[in-house]
Every structure is written in structure tokens, then in C-alpha cells.
Amino acid sequence: MPSLPAAYYARANDLLAQAWEKNTPVIAQLAPILGASVARGGVIHTFGSGHSDVIAREIIGRAGGLVCVTGVIDPTGGFIENLVGYGTKLIERYDRQYQLLAGEVIIVVSNSGKNSSPIEVALHAKKKGLTVVGLTALSMSTTTATVHPGGQRLHEVSDYVLDNGGVPGDAIVELAPGLSAGPTSTFIGSSILNWLMLATMEWLQQNNHPLPVLRSQNLPNAIEHNREVGLKYKHRLSRQLA
């Protein structure tokens, strides 16, 4: 019988491969949409509900990533993600500060897809004319009742859906009957977002657009480079550059 880490390694990598196969067609559809928005000078917005905030932050202000990615940050860390109306107030405040512009894209991450805040963020963004990409676990979001009074779940209000392929409860290694561990939503969700960012960069490259990509500030002259590529986005980024 394999050890628990070995069991996790095998199962998680199987799920990662399945996520690649399932999401590749959607990513191919999304790359031109994100790419065209970036080429016009737009930014890519992200939001993660609760622990999914970790996934949303994966592509914000990081070495090897697009500089024009900004995030809706929940100061409660998801503590009141099911308080109806909170997500709307959060995104309205963000909108006033950083602007949600028609034609841009927002990526909303919620593993369960049923909580109120991500649904409200998605609905507000749609109202402003943004393309909404929902990243969720369809095995959960299609089988669990929503908290939002509108009756919809994240995958139902999104224009495009990325599925992390996770199991209900987000734990794949059984410890004892009824008790499991080994979450996959962060590992696979972050991979999906990096695939999407690379596909967007590839589209920009193939269509002869500049690549506003950050370098590691540990490399020579990187800080100067990062400031230069980020200059035109200066007042729209939730994470400021060095």
C-alpha cells in the first residue's frame, strides 16, 4: 500500500493531467480575448473567495507574469464571503479605485462556486461589460445549493468556465472512513491560471504585440525593466511595483 504522500502524488498528477485535457479548449478560446484586451491597454482583474484568494494572487505582480494583472482583495480573507451584499460592496469600491472597463476580463475563483461574494463580483463585472471567467470545481458547484439569493452559482453566471477537476470537499487521500486530506484546488487552479497566462502571451507574441512581462527583481536591471513595462498601468494595479 503506498504511503499517504505517494498516494497524493499519484492522484494529484492524474487530476492535473485531466485538468489539462479538459481546460485546453477553453484556454484556446480565452487567449485571444485576454490578448486583445491587453493589446488595447486593458488589465486583467482577479478575485478569489476565501482560500481561493491564494490562487487569484498567483498571477498578480509576479516574475514571469504579465504586469497588467490586478486583484480584488477581500480584507476579511473570506470570513464573510456568504454575507449577501458584501461582495457587491467590495467590487463597487474596487471599481471606484481601479476601474472595471468594458472589454476587459475578470477571473473569479471559487472552489465551491456557491458562495455569495464571488457570484456578486461576477455579476457586477458583467454589468460593467467585462468578460467573466469562472474557475471552480464543477463536481461541487453543480451539486451544491447556492447561498446567493439569485439562485445561481458561479459557473452559471460566468461567460467561460475553467474546471479544476477537484472532488467534493477538496481532499483526495482517505485517512479513515469519512475523513480525507490532500487538497488539490490550489495546486491545479494555479496551474490552470499559468496555462492561461502563457496562452495569452503566446497570442500577443504571434500577433506582434509587446509583451508586458515582469522579470525577477533578483536579476540585473529587472527593477528598472519592471517599472518601465508597468508605467502605463501605474494607477490601476492593486499591487504596486518596486
Architecture of the structural domain at 4-230? 3-Layer(aba) Sandwich (3.40)
Structure-block grid coordinates of residue 111: 472552489
Q: Say whether pLDDT at 106 is over 90.
A: yes
pLDDT at 33: 98
The CA-CA-CA angle for residues 60, 64, 221, to 5°, reads: 110
CA dihedral (179, 58, 164, 188) positive or negative: negative
- Residue 56 in grid coordinates: 487569484
Please provide the average confidence, as pLDDT, over all residues in the chain: 96
Identify the band that residue 144 occupies on the pLDDT scale cut at 50, 70 and 90.
confident
Domains in the chain: boundaries: 4-230
12-66 pLDDT per residue, tens: 999 999 999 999 999 999 999 999 999 999 999 999 989 999 999 999 999 999 9
Share of the chain above pLDDT 70, in %: 100
What pLDDT is stored for residue 241 in this prediction?
A: 83
Q: pTM here? A: 0.96
Question: How high is the pLDDT of residue 147?
Answer: 86
Whether the predicted pLDDT of 1 surpasses 90: no
- Residue-wise pLDDT for 160-182, tens only, equals 999 999 999 999 999 999 999 99
pLDDT band at 117 (very low <50, low <70, confident <90, very high): very high
pLDDT given for residue 75 in this prediction: 92
- Where would I find the H helices in the chain? 4-39, 53-57, 86-98, 116-127, 138-141, 154-157, 185-206, 222-230
Per-residue pLDDT at 234: 85
Contact 197, 60 (CB under 8 A): no
Per-residue pLDDT for 119 more than 90?
yes
C-alpha cell at 41: 491597454
pLDDT digits (tens, 9 = 90+) for 191-232: 999 999 999 999 999 999 999 999 999 999 999 999 999 999
